[in-house]
Structure 1
């Protein structure tokens, strides 16, 4: 059935149509519901389809879009940045043309609402003017960039006000300064409340994007800025976990920026990428907050700042939301109408969602969402910033890297950092099968003497009685980080074997009696470290570490002896950790005090 609407103002109350043709000069108003169209939409000249009060347009086309016409769909979205900070966007519309299919977008299609149907087109400022304003709405084109299949900062492409942003391509845009108290829908929500709650409303007007939308990605974790390309929400899990989208790593990265840094100079920026792992199709995924970094003029990292601390639900991407994906291989990933849902922005995941496939009615369905068992691990580094990691427990996970579960650390060049260590890579989200005796390796790096403080800020859907420890390989010690913290100072270096997450502090193997009989002592008069081994334990190595974890004395291929002696004459006074490793890779570590002063 093809519905034709002509020459009068119409408020749509029926949600499902096979096709829609809106005649010339005809306005159609959809309020607070989903408009579902099985096939295409034809918008005649000067026709308007207004999506208002959280309304969304969902289409069921398979294959490429056949939408046509020079009329427009109008849909609102609010940014979250002022004139100094970026939002990442992806437009739901393109230029209205008679040619069938999706078309390019540019910022000249953005408008300032004055009533629920009337707008004033945004003013596009000169390239020399860097500061957008809310009223009148003025956009600084200097900050409009896109990124495709890139491995470094220089590959950002400036778009400015050109209409060259293809459907599915994301773009950056800075927000506006000042308030705009216009309330176009009389709902109490104004166009921009002004500082500190800056949230600029934009009216996107153009031909609605529809159908299959392909986005290019590249191997080696090359980054591409994309996002939700439709005038409806999408199930981000459905897009990332789509079997045909294996060319990406199935992880999404979201830009977050510190709004207190009011400067256009790159060196003053503080921002970073929050990371979303879908886990499974039916789960609510796992999100870890961004670490705010500052940057040099060439885009390289300068210093590190605080974590954003944001807890954001990412399963459903709202209209206009942009995000980065990384390529696993050269190819494309495809957004499809089957990924689209009617889900109101800001709704919790326990409420109802409208799924697009084969739906022609407006009834919401209750979704059974799986909450992934996981906990967050925070590492405070030098009391300057916090790196947040998440360890998820999933039966689908392996001990290797699993696409859609394990999320790579986007900040590989931070001078001081902590991450999970898998397959010689650094990850901020890791999925595992829970085993009580399993130890999860962490990678820690430092360019100077660095203080780390580990603790667990949040545990989700995981046994509340289960202990969680940091195991320090240096002295074979366990530290409860679920009810407390573990603080340690390390020397410059990269540590991939020293720190591990553990779930029990019981070590199987050598009996306590045997370990007790093995004794280490320091003879400061003769400057000799001695170890008594009455049970003839077979050791393969000995390492003496200083308090910062630096190996200062190493001996390999130890013979079985009842007494070992090592000279400490060249060592400074201080506390050291003497570590012996058995032939079965068990470790016995004891603390010793070396003064070499002649006093015991």
Structure 2
């Protein structure tokens, strides 16, 4: 939809005197895009005359896509404006990548993408078309505010090709920010009840709306990389991008993206109090699948939260897993880390741009306002594939399933504090070696304690394999001090071929059922990559042993709020332990003897999945999962 202040002039197929511009917005005119896609084949000219600018307003999910291959020719002193919402908590970071550059005085006629400047990028919406510039607070002002919008310069940083905490570069004093360079910014305190579009307030205390105003980024955007080093980049366009396409099409990165997550219950500006880490996304697909439109939603494993010292070094695991996000299509403004595999560059291109509105159901999450570990199955019985998606590339996405990739999620509780979640994903084209864009390295290689899959001696948190019941997947552990690990299957998603999952102790040739139970492991300081593996068969199983195990009937009697165990073979139960699904011990009972039945009250427990693990006097282990609903 197009509106005008006094005059609106748009040339859709260009004219010689406009250098073949595909869209021209004259001074004091604007284009208003409401919940729709504005597609321009080539460049955009947003004209300006004595302070009267031409504008493009993207509202309620409206996006701008451009189809030029190569360098952009966007020009003019006018502005495009687009909203994005980050966390409202003034203690927590979002990672951003600006969709616009700053048109400084004298740059109106300069062609192409422009550097951003944090002193002139951020605005507070006042009405559907008007905004006021945010105040950038000095270094000594630690807390941003929602109304009037003020942002602390202390927390504005970028990170280019480094692995050290000292690699962060401050940009809060107006230092230039090139197109494609990501940056950090904390949220704001307080609320801003101003509602500019009839849907949600600027900041209802959950999310802080930012109006980005400037020249829209377009075309090829080059991002430097170095082998084994991370760079903070992100989606630099005023439209969504296909993150899987970008990662697989750029061999100078390792094919994964890392997203910062932070424990939102910790309210402190001091680094030594931070609890956070990086979640990892992998396309779990091939480039050929992306181009054919048959690639799925990819796989994301949440961050494990660590503590930090005052120098930025990671300390012990301190918290539960971070949030689960859908990451296939990165929304406007989203920042993320990429890891280089060689000196060179990765290039963001228009061909990755898609018109996908933000939301979990569209596989395009930016940020959530509260901790959540829920896995969302973005499908229903009648719509298992992606809907038609408008894309510069012309890819037919309706060929791709939006069902979660077939996978097993394994939780490892480290020292009864935090959980590392590893994912085994099943893909028919995966090999047993390291596959770029399918397997994912741990981004936390300097951690004091961790668990991982071992692939070609690499430490991985996502392992893609072609399923075979006889497959064996090496797992490893490392800890600089003696450590305790509790390992269990959190969930098996969209895969019915797995009947059993075991952790095989290769030294003692013992198989531990982690599908129905928790296995507790105590290891001395050091790194162990050879003694354990995940299997789908127990080669030591004897039919009689299984009959004995199956004779025990374990169930939750929700009506009477009791855990009930029937023991018709009068097995001598030596120990019983109840764990929650994370692996934390709820209670332990010892020397129960050989009664025909047992009951344990559960009325004081929260609803959820729990694991009952029993051991008989002759060392037979039996594990069962129950669901408690009080």
TM-score band by shorter chain is 0.7 to 0.9
Map 1:291-440 → 2, pairs under 5 A: 291-349=304-362, 352=387, 354-357=389-392, 366=398, 368-369=400-401, 371-440=404-473
**Structure 1: any 5+ residue segments left out of the alignment?**
513-590, 594-600
Secondary structure of the residue aligned to 2:272 is helix
Cα distance in structure 1, aligned partners of 2:399 and 2:6: 38
Cα distance in structure 1, aligned partners of 2:284 and 2:310: 36
Q: Which of 519, 531, 538 does residue 505 from structure 1 map onto?
A: 538
Cα distance in structure 1, aligned partners of 2:58 and 2:154: 30
Q: Which of 119, 123, 133 does residue 135 from structure 2 map onto?
A: 123
Conservation of the 8 A alpha-carbon contact between 1:5 and 1:21: no
Query: Which is worse superposed, 343-352 or 59-68?
Result: 343-352
Distance of aligned partners of 1:93 and 1:293 in 2 relative to their CA distance in 1, 3 Å threshold: same
Secondary structure of the residue aligned to 1:267 is helix
Distance of aligned partners of 1:475 and 1:317 in 2 relative to their CA distance in 1, 3 Å threshold: same
Query: Which is worse superposed, 33-42 or 489-498?
Result: 489-498
Distance of aligned partners of 1:149 and 1:467 in 2 relative to their CA distance in 1, 3 Å threshold: same
Query: Which is worse superposed, 30-39 or 465-474?
Result: 465-474
Cα distance in structure 1, aligned partners of 2:166 and 2:65: 37
Matched, 1:159 2:162: no
Match of 1:41 in 2: 44
Conservation of the 8 A alpha-carbon contact between 2:240 and 2:330: yes
**Structure 2: any 5+ residue segments left out of the alignment?**
15-19, 363-384, 544-616, 620-630
Secondary structure of the residue aligned to 2:116 is coil
Cα distance in structure 2, aligned partners of 1:42 and 1:456: 55
1:474 to partner: Cα distance: 3.2
Q: Which of 54, 66, 72 does residue 59 from structure 1 map onto?
A: 66
Match of 1:211 in 2: 219
Cα distance in structure 1, aligned partners of 2:507 and 2:195: 62
Match of 1:466 in 2: 499
1:305 to partner: Cα distance: 1.3
Secondary structure of the residue aligned to 2:484 is strand
Distance of aligned partners of 1:358 and 1:504 in 2 relative to their CA distance in 1, 3 Å threshold: closer
Cα distance in structure 1, aligned partners of 2:277 and 2:13: 40
Secondary structure of the residue aligned to 1:431 is strand
Secondary structure of the residue aligned to 1:348 is helix
Matched, 1:98 2:109: yes
1:278-309 residue CA offsets vs partner (Å, 9 max, x unmatched) = 01132210100000111111111122212334
Conservation of the 8 A alpha-carbon contact between 2:321 and 2:418: no
Matched, 1:172 2:172: no
1:501-529 residue CA offsets vs partner (Å, 9 max, x unmatched) = 00100269xx99xxxxxxxxxxxxxxxxx
Cα distance in structure 2, aligned partners of 1:10 and 1:30: 14
TM-score by length of 2: 0.75
Match of 2:565 in 1: none
Secondary structure of the residue aligned to 2:319 is strand
1:352 to partner: Cα distance: 3.0
Cα distance in structure 2, aligned partners of 1:98 and 1:343: 32
1:341-396 residue CA offsets vs partner (Å, 9 max, x unmatched) = 0000005245535332266xxx9974523642211111011210100001111122
Match of 2:303 in 1: 290
Cα distance in structure 2, aligned partners of 1:191 and 1:352: 30
Distance of aligned partners of 1:55 and 1:269 in 2 relative to their CA distance in 1, 3 Å threshold: same
Cα distance in structure 1, aligned partners of 2:475 and 2:116: 44
Match of 2:23 in 1: 20
Q: Which of 218, 222, 226 does residue 229 from structure 2 map onto?
A: 222
1:520-567 residue CA offsets vs partner (Å, 9 max, x unmatched) = xxxxxxxxxxxxxxxxxxxxxxxxxxxxxxxxxxxxxxxxxxxxxxxx
Cα distance in structure 1, aligned partners of 2:13 and 2:514: 52
1:262 to partner: Cα distance: 1.1
Distance of aligned partners of 1:110 and 1:365 in 2 relative to their CA distance in 1, 3 Å threshold: same
How many residue pairs get matched? 500
Q: Which of 30, 35, 41 does residue 32 from structure 1 map onto?
A: 35
Map 1:468-547 → 2, pairs under 5 A: 468-506=501-539
Conservation of the 8 A alpha-carbon contact between 1:111 and 1:202: yes
Whose radius of gyration is greater, 1 or 2?
1
Cα distance in structure 1, aligned partners of 2:211 and 2:302: 29
Conservation of the 8 A alpha-carbon contact between 2:352 and 2:393: no
Secondary structure of the residue aligned to 1:129 is coil
1:439-465 residue CA offsets vs partner (Å, 9 max, x unmatched) = 111111233332211111121221255
Matched, 1:239 2:239: no
Match of 2:282 in 1: 277
Secondary structure of the residue aligned to 1:291 is coil
1:81 to partner: Cα distance: 4.6
Cα distance in structure 1, aligned partners of 2:176 and 2:353: 24
Cα distance in structure 1, aligned partners of 2:413 and 2:85: 33
Cα distance in structure 2, aligned partners of 1:460 and 1:229: 33
